[in-house]
Amino acid sequence: MSLVNQVFQGIPGATAQGGSPQAPNVAVDTVNNTFYFSTGSGWVPASSSAAKAILSSQTAATQANVLTFAVPATGLYRLDTYAVQMTATGGTLPSTAAAYTEGDTSVAQTGLAIQATGTGTNAGDNKSGSVIVNAKAGTNIVISSAAAATLTYTLKARVEYLG
């Protein structure tokens, strides 16, 4: 049994799709080293996320644990957060931060800012942030939110292993 059904030189286009939700096809782009999946409705790039979390329609300003990720290997990880205002009532979107153990020094790091607070006045107003950390295997990365969130928002967080 082969894990890769097709190999491409560039992003797949008009190539036969194949696959089904129960048995997707897997392909690799040899130019950009990107994996693609097809469940019968077209090729889509594989998500490189190691973990994701979504907090929908929140009003609380502080979320001590938006996402906890157990670090499987020492290396670089990208931490992304995105907050969006859900209603037309103005207010403040929350900030986000990370706590982790630095991979080379084994020193605990807390309060690393990912995204700053932001003022929202309309539904759809948003803030986002991204930071790269070198995390130690066998420890946790914890993403939290804080600030005087005075509106209804959705917060998304993602951890991506970079190597």
Strands 6-8 and 25-29: parallel
Which tokens hold the place of 132?
């790269």
What's the pLDDT score for residue 32?
61
In a 13 Å sphere around the CA of 101, the CA atoms on its Cβ side amount to: 15
What predicted TM-score, i.e. pTM, was given to this entire model? 0.75
Q: Which residue has the higher pLDDT, 14 or 80?
A: 80
Tell me what the mean pLDDT of segment 41-70 comes to.
79
110, with CB counted inside 10 A (0-12, 13-18, 19+), is exposed
Q: Spell out the domains of the chain, with CATH numbers in brackets.
A: 6-45 (no CATH), 49-161 (2.60.120.40)
